[in-house]
Chains A and B, each alone.
Chain A
Amino acid sequence: MKAYLTRRYRFSASHRLHCDAMSAAENAMVYGKCNNPYGHGHNYILEVTVSGSVDGATGMVCNLADLDGFVEQEILERFDHQNLNTLPEFQEAVPTTENLCIAAYRILEHGFRHAHLEKVRFEETMMNSFEYAGGAELRR
């Protein structure tokens, strides 16, 4: 039987929203406070949802130790307490939470082999959250 497993992770990082293709005035208008050249930071919450049939012997969609280990090594170690603008993922893309969703999705999609990736969800603050399912519609 098919089940969906969701795990929440936390990391803290700084960023600055700035697009080189726009003028200083445009950047200030589009990104407001987030354009501050010194950057600012958030406590991000990353939610990863994977799916698959529940293994008859283990009762699991995938072993949580595998998912935790992968996310720890490939995402948290790279993103936690970093300036997102310095990471390779954000040399071309502005480190908005939208783009953070896509970056995390791609890392999981390419590297995590123990279950099917359904979606990633980010909370940037308690007031806003973002979800990405590889371009697919979200499951209700």
Chain B
Amino acid sequence: MVYLTRKAEFSAAHYYHNPEFSAEENRRLFGKCNNPNGHGHNYTLEVTVKGSIDPRSGFVVDLKQLKGVLQREVLDAMDHHFLNKEVPEFFTRVPTTENLAIAIWQRLAPKLTEAQLHRVRVYETPDLFVDFYGEP
């Protein structure tokens, strides 16, 4: 088994708010992140796939294909967008880094045919990141 990690960057706006909580509860739980006008981050995404090396190509996965899937499934949808308002997963879920990692996993997993998705890591800042391994 060989693991391959591809990085990508995107910038997006979001805010944290759960309509089931009162305004006061939202402010207490989410603090500054509750500002309804949103704020943004430069996210770094690391996608790790695993598989065995194809004896002819010497690849675990064709990086061109992986880049294409990342571009179409994640970057086109999220880069320079407002996550709460433009990305369907976040119409009902809070766009935390945790939920972003899960949403990206769910977008990528069915599209990756050659190699198996191992880990999605999302950095919200260089000092905060979340890993998701597809665990229930």
- Is there an interface contact between B131 and A8, defined as CB atoms closer than 8 Å? no
B93→A59 contact, CB < 8 A: yes
Interfacial residues of chain A within 45-74, with CB under 8 A of chain B in the complex: 54, 57-61, 63-65
Q: Please measure, in the bound complex, the distance between the C-alpha atom of A37 and the C-alpha atom of B56, giving whole angstroms.
A: 60
Task: Tell me which residues across on chain A come within 8 A of B31, comparing CB atoms.
Answer: 65
Is A64 a contact partner of B128 (Cβ separation < 8 A)? yes
A47 to chain B, nearest CB (A): 9
Stretch at the interface among B35-43, B57-65, B95-103: B95-103
Q: A interface, how many residues as a size bin?
A: 10 to 19
Residues of A within 8 A of B21 (CB): 57
Cα A60 to Cα B128 with chains together (Å): 13
Which residues in B have their C-beta under 8 angstroms from that of A8? 126-128
Residues of chain A from 1 to 19 with CB closer than 8 A to chain B in the complex: 1-9
* Chain B neighbourhood of A59, CB < 8 A: 16, 93-96, 98-99
In the assembled complex, B24 has its CB within 8 A of some CB on chain A:
no
Complex CA gap A2/B135 in Å reads: 6
Of the candidates A3, A7, A58, A65, the one whose C-beta lies within 8 Å of that of B102 is: A3
Tell me the complex Cα distance, A94–B47, Å: 39
CB distance from A35 to the nearest CB of B (A): 33
- Residues of A near B16 (CB, < 8 A) are 59
Known: A58-B18, A63-B29. A5 touches B97 (CB 8 A): yes
* Complex CA distance for A63 and B28, rounded to whole angstroms: 11
User: Is the CB of B130 closer than 8 A to any CB of chain A?
Assistant: yes
B10 at the binding interface (Cβ < 8 Å): no
- Is B130 touching A6 in the complex (CB atoms < 8 A)? yes
Please give the residue numbers on chain B whose beta carbons come within 8 Å of chain A beta carbons, in ascending order: 3, 16, 18, 20-21, 29-31, 93-99, 101-102, 126-133, 135-136
